């Protein structure tokens, strides 16, 4: 295409060389393709870094959650042992009191058994026949 207008700048005047314009166009296309490839590579690299960061953040969050869970479980077991420990002491005290009472009762039983048996047998053997006060003689 030839531009021969009086207002056309000097660099547009004359006939363009088809070889120069084709090679410059192909070089421009090649540069655009390379730039596009570099941009795509940078995007893929950024996506990989983002994926690594997300994976690392997830692992750190899991580790932090596990640490927190272990800490809370330790606190719970400590509180539970304090509470249950006091209940355990209470149950041992009750058990000691019970064994002491059983011991007292058995010693009391052995101490008074002979006297009580004698009294009981005396009452059984000493029979006094009496007429009941409500009994009416109908004859």
Q: Residue by residue, what is the 3-state secondary structure of the chain?
A: CCCCCCCCCHHHCCCCCHHHHHHHHHHHHHHHHHHHHHHHHHHHHHHHHHHHHHHHHHHHHHHHHHHHHHHHHHHHHHHHHHHHHHHHHHHHHHHHHHHHHHHHHHHHHHHHHHHHHHHHHHHHHCCCCCCCCCCCCCC
pLDDT in tens, 80-90: 888 776 676 77
Q: Average pLDDT, stretch 110-114?
A: 93
- The CA distance from 29 to 14, in Å, is 25
pLDDT at 73 over 80: yes
What is the overall mean pLDDT for the chain? 85
Q: What percent of the chain has pLDDT over 90?
A: 55
Task: Compare 92 and 57 and report the one with higher pLDDT.
Answer: 57
pTM: 0.40
Q: What pLDDT is stored for residue 12 in this prediction? A: 55
pLDDT at 69 over 60: yes
pLDDT in tens, 14-46: 555 555 567 778 888 999 999 999 999 999 999
Task: Compare 102 and 2 and report the one with higher pLDDT.
Answer: 102
- In the chain the first and final C-alpha atoms are separated, in Å, by 167
């Amino acid at each position: 295409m030839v531009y021969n207008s009086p207002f056309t700048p000097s660099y547009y005047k004359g006939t363009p060389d088809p070889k120069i314009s084709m090679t410059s166009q192909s070089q421009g296309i090649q540069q655009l393709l390379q730039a596009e490839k570099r941009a795509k590579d940078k995007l893929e690299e950024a996506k990989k870094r983002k994926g690594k960061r997300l994976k690392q953040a997830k692992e750190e969050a899991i580790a932090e959650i596990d640490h927190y869970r272990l800490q809370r479980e330790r606190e719970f077991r400590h509180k539970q042992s304090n509470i249950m420990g006091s209940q355990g002491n209470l149950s041992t005290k009750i058990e000691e009191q019970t064994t002491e009472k059983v011991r007292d009762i058995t010693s009391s039983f052995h101490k008074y058994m002979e006297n009580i048996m004698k009294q009981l047998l005396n009452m059984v053997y000493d029979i006094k026949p009496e007429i009941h006060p409500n009994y009416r003689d109908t004859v």
